[in-house]
Structure 1
Amino acid sequence: MENHTLTHEFPEYEVKIRNLKAADESFKKLYVNYEEVNALIAHYEDGGENHTTDEHLTDLRRKRVHLKDDIYAFLNQH
Structure 2
Amino acid sequence: MPVQTPTDFDEMPPGNTAGGLEDQFPYDAEMLHRLRLGDAYFCNLAARYHALNRAIHRFETEVERCSAFHVERLKTQRLKLLDEITAILEQAEQRLVAP
- The TM-score range, normalised by the shorter chain, is over 0.9
Aligned twin of 2:97: none
Q: 1:39 aligns with which of 10, 32, 54?
A: 54
Q: 2:72 aligns with which of 58, 61, 64?
A: 58
The 2-side partners of 1:62 and 1:73 are apart by 17
Higher relative contact order (CA 8 A, sep 6+): 1
Gaps of 5+ in 1: none
The alignment's C-alpha RMSD in Å is: 1.5
CA displacement at 1:3 relative to structure 2: 2.1
* 4+ long deviations beyond 4 Å: none
Gaps of 5+ in 2: 1-15, 93-99
Size of the aligned set, in residue pairs, is 77
Q: 1:68 aligns with which of 82, 86, 94?
A: 82
Using the size of structure 1 for normalisation, the TM-score is: 0.92
Q: 1:27 aligns with which of 42, 46, 56?
A: 42
Structure showing greater Rg: 2
Bigger helix fraction: 1
Q: 1:16 aligns with which of 31, 55, 58?
A: 31
Deviation digits for residues 1-57 of structure 1 (CA, Å, limit 9, x no counterpart): 982100110111111001110111010010000000000001111111x31000000
The 2-side partners of 1:34 and 1:61 are apart by 10
